[in-house]
Structures are given as structure tokens and as C-alpha cells.
Amino acid sequence: MLWQSKTVEEVSDVDTAEAINQDLNSLNTADLDMEFKDVDAGLNSL
């Protein structure tokens, strides 16, 4: 459920180079290892 708190920011309507750069920097592609934390915890207790 970790990634759900990391929502993808909405893209603004402004099309200046600066705004586009901000949009790109605000993209979150998620940390896979963190996403597997719960699965790994269960796996370790098997």
C-alpha cells in the first residue's frame, strides 16, 4: 500500500520551459524495494 501515498502530481496547463521542468521533476516512479517490504516480511516468516 506504500505507493498509494505517493500520488502522481497533476500536470499544470502552463507550457513554459520552467513549468515543464517542474512537471518532470514532480513525477514519482516509486521505490520498488519499498513496495516489496510487506511481501518480504511475510516471506521471512515462512
**Contact yes or no for 10/23 (Cβ under 8 A):** no
Cell triple for 32: 520498488
Q: How many residues bind other proteins (CB under 8 A)?
A: 30
Q: Which of residues 5-24 bind other proteins (CB under 8 A)?
A: 8-11, 14-21, 23-24
Q: Tell whether residue 34 is a contact of other proteins (CB under 8 A).
A: no
- The 10 Å CB-count burial string (b at 16+, else e) for 16-31 is eeeeeeeeeeeeeeee
Q: Which residues bind other proteins (CB under 8 A)?
A: 3-4, 8-11, 14-21, 23-24, 27-30, 32, 35-36, 38-40, 42-43, 45-46
